[in-house]
Amino acid sequence: MMISLLRGPDRRAERLAATLYGYTFLDDLILLYPVYALLFVDTGLSTAEISSLFVIWSVTSLVMEVPSGVWADAVSRRLLLVVAPLLSAVGYALWVIAPSYWAFAAGFVLWGTSGALQSGAMEALVYTELERLDAAGRYATIMGRARALSTGAVMVATALAAPALAVGGYPLLGAASVLACVLCAAVATTFPEHRGQSPEESSPEEASPGSYADILRDGVREMRSSRPVRRAVLLVIAVTALWGALDEYVPLLAAGTGVAEYAVPLLVLLVSAGGALGGLLAAAGRRGTDRAIAVILAVGALALGAGAISGVPAGFAVIAVAFCLFQMATVLVDARLQDRITGPARATVTSLAGLGTDVTCIAFFGCYAAASAVTGHSVIFAVSAVPYLVLALVLTLAAGGRSRPGGGRRRERRPSGERSMTTHHPVPAHPAPAHPASGHPAPAHPAPAHPAPAHPAPAHPAPAHPASGHPASAHPTPAHVPPVHPAPGHVPPAGRTP
């Protein structure tokens, strides 16, 4: 019976992890992903029209990011995770049933809304349930594996898209994508969620989420008032945005090496495999300090720069190492953010981090476009590694600044020299020798700083000490002189221990 009770939380955590793995895999097993740009071209859209669709997609994600996070704190997070893939399914169906510009635009609005509903809600649900099971320490491991499976699903969809397109065309790809979304929504219904069920099963702030405005205020207030939360949010943005945006340009970098067109997807898959491996390896550094994250980012930046500037296909193996390390860092900083959040607006704070990431990505896209007019992709990739080196340096300096004051205080508490030994060591319990003149035990303490008698001492010389013949000192014993040990059987009075 006791064994089953001990293993119960572990089994529930494993079931939660299995549900998350199935959800993330099916959510990215979309066969339309690799070829939807070709669908747009075959429909007759110009490059400008396709670019405008990407803008619609990005703006939708930005507009919906924070509201969806607040909803995830106000209503059922599981419900949002069920609805999100169904919205994507409707969008994919529109693309293949009525292919046109406005159908594509509506599909991107639905797809952007779907991603926003998942952002924040999934992380908050998983962390809250793990925390309830006293297994929050496993968050980085579980989320790292989920990210790896998500990348693996994209790779599988890429491999299946070509033969499926040859057999059934875009309608078959659309049908397979809609089916994956429906299955993903079905899996989402099995997520556990214990918010608002009972005071025994939920914390007070989780049991009473409050109104939309209250939750939004709570999220913004926590990020503004809590320095650890604010720092964690900024770290998530700084780590995630840059390499996430660079990922979109990996095919262009591969094509710039001069390989055959059929080899470009292979190089892209190699880099994707590196990212998947990074999600699996994130568990090894789940308790990483600032120094550990700084080392990961620094090594990743050097690998990115070296692989990109080489300009040869073999350099993509080094770029894959860089993406592996960046994925590790992403999982670790996300886990740190979840650990720092203590209020009821967990999904809202996470969505604020997602909003910052999206804005940074869009800014980077603009910088990349401007840079591409004067230099090549390899140089841009290499220069893009520099911010990670700067971030690694900042983290290292911050970690050193926090450790030095603590170390100094600890050294001050350690005894040093005779004075410190006198102050901190206990007085021995054996008695002190008797005074040669009186036979009474000699005092073990220095004389008080003020005169002991109520009247001033006479001006005549002090009597000579019977043992030495020298005048007895009328002044207190200096503080640096070790005390005389008390006589046997004598215990110093309470409060008088030197």
Which value, to the nearest 10 degrees, does the dihedral of the CA atoms of residues 121, 127, 130, 135 take?
A: 170
Looking at residue 421, what is its pLDDT? Answer: 38
**Any domain includes 72:** yes
**Any domain includes 272:** yes
Q: Report in angstroms the alpha-carbon separations of 353 from 127, 183, 259, 325, 335.
A: 16, 29, 38, 20, 13
Q: Residues 223-265: pLDDT tens digits?
A: 888 899 999 999 999 999 999 889 888 888 988 888 887 788 8
**Any domain includes 444:** no
Which value, to the nearest 10 degrees, does the dihedral of the CA atoms of residues 167, 168, 170, 174 take?
A: -120
Helix 227-246 with 290-310: angle, nearest 10 deg: 20
**CA angle 203–204–210, rounded 5-degree value:** 125
Looking at residue 343, what is its pLDDT? Answer: 82
| Residue 460, pLDDT above cutoff 80 | no
C-alpha 180: how far from its chain's center? Answer: 30
**For 192-220, b where at least 16 C-beta lie within 10 A, e where not — what string?**
bbbbeeeeeebeebbbebeeeebbbebbe
Residues 95 and 153 in one domain: yes
CA distance 22 to 85: 13
**Any domain includes 407:** no
**For 395-414, b where at least 16 C-beta lie within 10 A, e where not — what string?**
bbeebeeeeeeeeeeeeeee
| Residue 471, pLDDT above cutoff 80 | no
- Assign 195 a pLDDT band (cuts: 50, 70, 90): low
Question: Which residues does 444 contact at the CB level (< 8 Å), separation at least 6?
Answer: 427, 432, 483, 484, 485, 486, 490, 492, 498
Question: Which residues does 468 contact at the CB level (< 8 Å), separation at least 6?
Answer: none
Domain carrying residue 335 = 213-402
C-alpha 103: how far from its chain's center? Answer: 38
**Any domain includes 439:** no
The last residue of one of the domains, among 340, 367, 402, is 402
Residue with tokens 């998942």: 118
Which of 45-59, 87-101, 386-400, 453-467 bottoms out in mean pLDDT, i.e. has the lowest? 453-467
What's the one-letter identity of residue 151?
T
C-alpha 30: how far from its chain's center? Answer: 28
| Residue 448, pLDDT above cutoff 70 | no
Report whether 128 contacts 195 (CB < 8 A). Answer: yes
Looking at residue 412, what is its pLDDT? Answer: 38
Residues 141 and 191 in one domain: yes
Provide the number of structural domains found in the chain: 2
| Residue 480, pLDDT above cutoff 70 | no
What CATH number does the domain containing 321 carry? Answer: 1.20.1250.20
Residues 196 and 219 in one domain: no
Residues 275 and 185 in one domain: no
Judged by DSSP in three states, 441 sits in: strand
**Any domain includes 141:** yes
What is the overall mean pLDDT for the chain? 79
Residues 204 and 217 in one domain: no
The last residue of one of the domains, among 151, 174, 209, is 209
Segment 407-433 mean pLDDT: 41
Q: Residues 316-370: pLDDT tens digits?
A: 999 999 999 999 999 999 989 998 988 888 888 988 998 899 899 888 888 888 8
Looking at residue 105, what is its pLDDT? Answer: 95
- Strand-pairing partners, residue 54, are none
| Residue 479, pLDDT above cutoff 70 | no
CA distance 269 to 249: 13
Strands, E, within 152-307: which ranges? none
CA distance 117 to 64: 8
How many residues can be counted in the chain? 498
Residues 75 and 201 in one domain: yes
Q: Residues 362-402: pLDDT tens digits?
A: 888 888 888 888 999 999 999 999 999 999 999 999 877 66
**How many other β-carbons are positioned within 10 Å of the β-carbon of residue 306?**
16
- Assign 210 a pLDDT band (cuts: 50, 70, 90): low
Residues 52 and 181 in one domain: yes
Report whether 81 contacts 188 (CB < 8 A). Answer: yes
The last residue of one of the domains, among 209, 234, 267, is 209
- The closest of 288, 323, 284 to 303, measured between CA atoms, is 323
Residues 94 and 205 in one domain: yes
| Residue 456, pLDDT above cutoff 70 | no
pTM over 0.85: no
Q: Residues 261-286: pLDDT tens digits?
A: 778 888 888 998 999 999 888 877 65
Looking at residue 162, what is its pLDDT? Answer: 82
CA distance 274 to 320: 5
Which segments of 373-469 does DSSP mark as H helices, in order? Answer: 377-384, 386-413, 417-424
Residues 197 and 255 in one domain: no
Q: Residues 15-60: pLDDT tens digits?
A: 999 999 999 999 999 999 888 888 898 899 887 888 788 888 888 9
**How many other β-carbons are positioned within 10 Å of the β-carbon of residue 309?**
14
Residues 222 and 140 in one domain: no
**How many other β-carbons are positioned within 10 Å of the β-carbon of residue 437?**
11
Residues 202 and 241 in one domain: no
Which value, to the nearest 10 degrees, does the dihedral of the CA atoms of residues 236, 238, 242, 243 take?
A: -50
- Would you state the structure tokens that stand for residue 159, as one six-digit string? 């491999």
Residues 77 and 119 in one domain: yes
**How many other β-carbons are positioned within 10 Å of the β-carbon of residue 302?**
18
Looking at residue 287, what is its pLDDT? Answer: 61
Report whether 32 contacts 173 (CB < 8 A). Answer: yes
**Any domain includes 75:** yes
Q: Residues 104-150: pLDDT tens digits?
A: 999 999 999 999 999 889 999 999 999 999 988 889 899 999 999 99
CA R_g for the chain: 34
C-alpha 480: how far from its chain's center? Answer: 52
- Assign 404 a pLDDT band (cuts: 50, 70, 90): low
**Any domain includes 484:** no
**How many other β-carbons are positioned within 10 Å of the β-carbon of residue 364?**
18
Looking at residue 282, what is its pLDDT? Answer: 84
Looking at residue 486, what is its pLDDT? Answer: 43
CA distance 394 to 290: 9
- Assign 82 a pLDDT band (cuts: 50, 70, 90): very high
